[in-house]
């Protein structure tokens, strides 16, 4: 199985990093529309987090932890937290994994994994 990666996107006109990808640069002084991918991953700082108990149908665990992190390059991203002893400000490692299995049931069933960040302890 191939390793999945997540990306930020650098505006080729002004250099601003974006995550997720936008059509037009979000820098108010720029109107750039071309971006180059910059791999996101590795160490990040956990800014804040929450625990969700009321999960959608199809989830079998009693809760999921979600957090917002800031990478060393300043990009902020959200994702699942893969452990329970969590503290704001702690260092985490961003990995990419299956965060949900998407299923469509119609004439033929479609099962598609959805990938996203899963933050782990270093």
Are residues 91 and 111 part of one domain?
yes
* CA dist., res. 92 & res. 84, Å (int): 13
Are residues 52 and 109 part of one domain?
yes
Are residues 63 and 7 part of one domain?
no
Tens of pLDDT, residue by residue over 89-102, are 999 999 999 888 77
Q: What is the pTM of this model?
A: 0.84
pLDDT band (50, 70, 90) for residue 7: very high
Tens of pLDDT, residue by residue over 41-69, are 899 999 999 999 998 877 788 999 999 99
Q: What are the beta bridge partners of residue 111?
A: 103
* CA dist., res. 72 & res. 56, Å (int): 33
Are residues 54 and 102 part of one domain?
yes
Number of domains in the chain: 2
- Cα atoms in the Cβ-side hemisphere of radius 13 Å centred on 122: 9
* Domain encompassing residue 86: 41-122
């Amino acid at each position: 199985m191939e390793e999945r990666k997540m990306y930020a996107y650098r505006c080729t006109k002004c250099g601003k990093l974006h995550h997720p990808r936008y059509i037009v640069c979000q820098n108010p002084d720029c109107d750039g529309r071309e971006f180059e991918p910059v791999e996101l991953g590795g160490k990040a700082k956990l800014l804040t987090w929450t625990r969700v108990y009321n999960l959608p149908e199809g989830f079998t665990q009693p809760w999921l932890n979600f957090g917002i992190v800031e990478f060393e390059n300043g990009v902020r991203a959200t994702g699942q937290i893969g452990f329970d002893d969590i503290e704001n400000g702690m260092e985490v490692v961003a990995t990419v994994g299956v965060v949900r299995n998407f299923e469509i049931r119609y004439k033929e069933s479609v099962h598609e994994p959805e990938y996203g960040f899963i933050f782990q302890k270093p």
